[in-house]
Amino acid sequence: MGYSNEVKKKAASVISERKLSAERRADYMREKIFNEIPEAAEIERKIASCGIRAGRAVLGGGDVKSELSSLKTESLALQRRFEELLRSHGYSVSDVEPKYFCEKCGDTGYIELDNRTVMCDCLKQARIEAACDELNRNSRLSLCTFEDFSLSYYSKEIPDGYPRSPYEQMRAILKYCRNYAENFTTSSENIFMRGKTGLGKTHLSLSIANEVIKKGYGVIYASAPTLVAQLEKEQFSREKPENSVADVISDCDLLIIDDLGTEFVNSFSASAVYNVFNARLSSRKPMIVNTNLSAAELEQTYSERFVSRIYGEARRLNFFGKDIRIQKK
């Protein structure tokens, strides 16, 4: 997938800052330990000197093999002494070395693979997160948390035709959503939230998003009308962007679509929504979808096949009760 220069720069900056931070922490620990154990600093200088002398030996000619063997023996002895010295003071060699966020690439963003320099997974993920941030710039992601979700608005009386009260239903849904967010991975199941307006679907979706983002995953949140409008604008634009909306929503770790069915429905929108769903389901990347429509209404808007697939491949959470926004007024 292609990314804009802005996204690439932001991701590269994240990786660079990780590297600098790890090396700053290592420098701080080295100074602290060497001030406490001056002999350790002297031994490190001698180890470095062995390396320099080995280079000179290679360039100088003579009995190179014998001299290199002697320097190797000397260096190994110094390293053992260095480790013993640190250990005797309650430290280890790792305490004076940078602890990189990504051990594979040492926070450079690139690794060697089959004699080729390739992008490390950590940089790929940083680009996905940067692209997600770009799309989420004007969204409501920061507005809702689990902590400010109240069950007090849900009745404890069991309505006719329902197996339990709205309170008990929402308590179970809240528990499920908290657990989903806490244990989220890129192979987590899909969630399909259905119920009338004002019952907390958006609030809980955004609460999950906030927790998942804290774990470092790339999350896209968009209402169905906004998403369709962006896809339509991109589809019929003369200039194709480097990082397309379709690519970003396909690659992100979690996609949340709010208010499905409220978009202006035409042949393009129905096809676009289906393609988004199909791509995510085929790649087994999790989605959270909210709608106010019943199964029958969704079938009329999209298709029976579409509804069957969503119902079959997602955990259904049914919201019922009285509109919270009306109660708050």
- Per DSSP, the three-state class of 195 is coil
Where do we find the tokens 């003369």? 238
- Phi and psi, residue 79, nearest 5°: -65, -40
Q: What span, in angstroms and rounded, lies between the C-alpha atoms of 262 and 222?
A: 12
- Phi and psi, residue 170, nearest 5°: -70, -30
Highest-confidence segment of 75-84, 239-248, 258-267, 275-284: 75-84
Average pLDDT of the segment spanning 54-77: 81
CATH 3.20.20.70 fits 136-328, yes or no: no
Q: What span, in angstroms and rounded, lies between the C-alpha atoms of 92 and 87?
A: 6
Q: What span, in angstroms and rounded, lies between the C-alpha atoms of 172 and 185?
A: 21
51 has a pLDDT exceeding 90: no
Domain boundaries along the sequence of the chain: 5-102, 136-328
Q: What pLDDT does 138 receive? A: 58
- Per DSSP, the three-state class of 174 is helix
Q: What pLDDT does 177 receive? A: 97
Among 27-36, 111-120, 211-220, 237-246, name the one with the lowest average pLDDT: 237-246
Nearest CA among 322, 278, 12, 4 for reference residue 169: 322
Nearest CA among 19, 21, 20, 85 for reference residue 47: 85
Highest-confidence segment of 74-78, 112-116, 171-175, 224-228: 171-175
pLDDT in tens, 2-41: 456 777 888 899 999 999 999 999 999 989 999 999 999 9
Q: What is the dihedral of CA 22, 23, 27, 29, to 10 degrees?
A: 20
pLDDT in tens, 110-139: 998 888 888 898 998 888 788 767 656 656
> How large a percentage of the chain has pLDDT more than 90?
36
- Per DSSP, the three-state class of 112 is strand
